[in-house]
Structures are given as structure tokens and as C-alpha cells.
Structure 1
Amino acid sequence: MSAIKRQAKAVIDELLDEVVHSLLDFMEKLQEWEATREILEDEEFSAEIEQGVRDVKAGRTVEWRKVKRTNV
């Protein structure tokens, strides 16, 4: 285990469970934000999302029942 992880573990061990719970929630939000940021920085993927939004607004959609696979 690295020194920084040992130090973090020592600090966490001293915290109340409620504080640790809040820290875990915060860390999960950071991970979600990182994933969102990566998606938004992907120009091709962002363009595909924008095209999808335009398609929905223009009524270019297909009902789920028509595209779902029934023999999965």
C-alpha cells in the first residue's frame, strides 16, 4: 500500500461513520462527473447525442416494441 493510501486510511479510521458516508457519496459524485466530462469532451459522441436529440424533436423515432429482441 502506498504512503498516501496509508495516510488516507488512518484519517478515515478516525472519522465518524456519518462523515465517511458523506465522503463516499462525494467521491461517487466526483467519479460520475469525471465520466460525464469525458463524454462531453468526446466531440464525435457529443455530435451523435445532438443528432439523436434532433431526431427525437423531428419525430424520427421507433417504438421500443418494434426494436426489442424477444429471443434474448
Structure 2
Amino acid sequence: MKSTQITLVCIILLCLFSLHQCGRMESRDTGKSSKIYTPKCFKANCHGFPLVKNCWCCFNDEDICWHDREICMRLC
């Protein structure tokens, strides 16, 4: 039982080390940081039924919404 636990700990340590190296290599090679992408617009409900998402709103200001996604992406 003890050798099984030691083997499991070794596998976990190897996985964590390889994940760490992969993250370092990815950010160094691309020159970009690994930040989360937030879109300019998101789908939300404007008027009518509360469960129907029929508008695109700016991520920074939820009060500014349009029915067309392209307009939202251009103006936000």
C-alpha cells in the first residue's frame, strides 16, 4: 500500500512540473501573457420576454445594447 501512495505522489509531482514548464514555455514563445480573453459584447435580453436573449450589450457598460452583434463590436 505504501509503494502505491509513493507512486501516486510521484505521478502528481511530474504532472505539476510539466504543467508549470508548459505554461512558462507558452508565454515566453508567443510573447503574450496568458490572460483571459473578455469579449467586447455579450448576449443579453433587451425587451420583451426575460428569458429570450435578443440583444448584444457592451461588456463595460450593460446599459448600451444593440440588436446587431457587428454594430456592438464596432461601437463598444
TM above 0.5? no
TM-score by length of 2: 0.42
**Structure that is richer in strand per residue:** 2
Higher relative contact order (Cα pairs below 8 Å, separated by 6+ residues): 2
**Structure that is richer in helix per residue:** 1
TM-score by length of 1: 0.44
